[in-house]
Amino acid sequence: MHLALSLVVFLLNVRRKTYSNFKHFFPSVLFVMFFNSLYYYLFKHFLLWEFNSPFVKVKYLRALYIFFIMPHVILLYLSEFPSRLYNQFIHIVKWIAISASIEFFLFHKKQLITFHHRWMIFWSICVYIKMYLFSYLLTKKPLMIINASIASVICILLIFKPPLSKGFYEGPLLKWMKSVTPYRTRRKNALLKVGD
C-alpha cells in the first residue's frame, strides 16, 4: 500500500505537470521534509505513530515518506492552489479530508500505520491542518510561519511529554562520531606510547 501510494502521487504529478513548479515551491517542500524529520528526531524513543509493512523495513518507509511521498503531495497540493479565498478554503479542507481518510481507513484500519501514546486520528487531522495551511502561507509570510511552527512543536512536546532520557539528542551523526572517537583516541594513545 505504501509503494502504491508512492506510485499514485508520482503519476498524478507527472499527469498534472507539477514538476515545472518545483523551484517555486521548494521552500515549502523543504519545510515539510524538515518537520517530518524533526518528528523522528524528537520522538525517536517515544513514537506517536509508526508505519508498518510486511515487505519494507521501517527505516525505508520513513525515508520514503520524508523524501518522496510528502514532497510529491505538497507539490501537487500547492500547484493546484486556487486564487479566490473561498476556493482556497475548500481546497485546504478537501486535502485535509482526503489525507485523513486515507490514513485512517486505508492505513490505520489495516495496521499499516499504528498510533501510540494517546495519539489518535484527531491529532493527525491537526497535523494535516498545520501542514497544508503552513506550507501555503510559508510562501507569503515565512517569518510568521517559522515562529508558529516552533510554537506548535513546543505544544506537541508539552502535550505528549516524550521522555528526555539519555541519548535523547543523539542522532545518527552524533552516534557515528562517538563510535569513531574512541578508536581515534586509542590510536593516538598507542602512538604516544611508541614515541616514548
Q: At 85, list the grid cell.
A: 479565498
Q: At 117, list the grid cell.
A: 501514546
In this prediction, residue 179 carries a pLDDT of: 66
Q: Which of 99, 98, 88, 97 is nearest to 32 (CA)?
A: 99
Q: How many CB atoms lie within 10 A of CB 12?
A: 15
Q: At 110, list the grid cell.
A: 489495516
In this prediction, residue 196 carries a pLDDT of: 52
Give the type of residue at 83: S
**109 vs 114: CA distance, rounded Å:** 9
Query: What pTM does this model have?
Result: 0.84
- Residue spans of the chain under pLDDT 70: 165-196
In this prediction, residue 164 carries a pLDDT of: 73
Q: At 96, list the grid cell.
A: 485535509
In this prediction, residue 1 carries a pLDDT of: 87
**Alpha helices (H) along 20-84:** 22-42, 58-64, 70-79
In this prediction, residue 8 carries a pLDDT of: 97
Helix (H) or strand (E) run with residue 142 in it: helix 142-160
In this prediction, residue 57 carries a pLDDT of: 94
**172 vs 44: CA distance, rounded Å:** 11
Enumerate the domain spans of the chain: 2-165, 167-196
In this prediction, residue 174 carries a pLDDT of: 60
Kindly give the interhelix angle for 70-79 and 22-42, rounded to the nearest 10 degrees. Answer: 140
In this prediction, residue 11 carries a pLDDT of: 98
